[in-house]
Amino acid sequence: MVISRRWAVFLTAVGVWTWVIWPRFALAIYRDDRSFADGTPTSFLWVHAVLIAASLAIGTTVGMLGVRAWRAARRTPGANRRGAEESVGVGASPPED
């Protein structure tokens, strides 16, 4: 499968956006009055910590896929043009005799 450079940039941007937004949200959750009760973490904190960790893991994966797709598009001649599948040999080949 060939991913265009546009999609590669989009995927990379999503990964970066994830790492910009979620740590700031984590700090806000940590500072929230509902996060601790008598010095011990509450379920409010734990649920949000799990959601933040999952989002960071997914964002990292998506960002890495974007970077890999960008690098692959640079190596593949014609990957940015229409019909890129033909230029890299994807699809049915003629029958051999």
Q: Are 15 and 68 in contact (CB under 8 A)?
A: no
The C-alpha atoms of residue 21 and residue 58 are separated, in whole angstroms, by: 13
Task: Give the pLDDT band of residue 1 (cuts 50, 70, 90).
Answer: confident
Which of 91 and 30 is assigned the larger pLDDT?
30
Tens of pLDDT, residue by residue over 49-77, are 999 999 999 999 999 999 999 998 887 66
CA angle (37, 38, 42) in 5-degree steps: 25
Mean pLDDT of the 70-86 span: 65
Q: Provide the percentage of residues in the chain whose pLDDT is more than 70.
A: 77
Which of 1 and 12 is assigned the larger pLDDT?
12
